[in-house]
Amino acid sequence: MKQLTKAEEEIMQILWELKEANVAGIIDSMSEPKPAYNTVSTIVRILENKGFVDHKKAGKGYIYFPLVEKETYSNQSMKQLVNNYFNGSFKSMVSFFMKKNDLSTQELEAILKEIDKKDS
């Protein structure tokens, strides 16, 4: 699966939330300053070429919808992060975030409970 740019990921986040939208609807959901219509339209076409988005005809325009689920992309992105920055070690990643982000004991316990659920 291809990696998304920040702009592509922003549009995907909106499409995952809305389920489907035309370019104007995507822009309406974006924060200020809003990008130009042509910019968003171009990014959506790039997402189509990458296989993340498809469209259906609606009047004179198109309605876009995600082909890749958010969870699928999140899992792939996390694996790539662990592999690229922590030599494939989830333990190293957690240790890093504990040291750099002042992870509380309660947050660590919650993570451990989630790991225990997965192992069960």
Closest CA to 111 of 72, 69, 83, 101: 101
Which residues form the domain of 90? Answer: 70-119
Q: What is the pLDDT of residues 82-112, one digit of tens each?
A: 899 899 888 888 788 778 777 777 887 887 7
Q: What is the pLDDT of residues 40-75, one digit of tens each?
A: 999 999 999 999 999 999 999 999 999 999 999 998
94, part of any domain? yes
Tell me: do 54 and 92 sit in the same domain. no
Taking the C-alpha atoms of residue 102 and residue 74, their distance in angstroms, rounded to an integer, is 23
Tell me: do 62 and 75 sit in the same domain. no
Q: Where is the domain boundary, 24, 42, 66? A: 66
Number of structural domains (the chain) is 2
Closest CA to 71 of 20, 8, 119, 1: 1
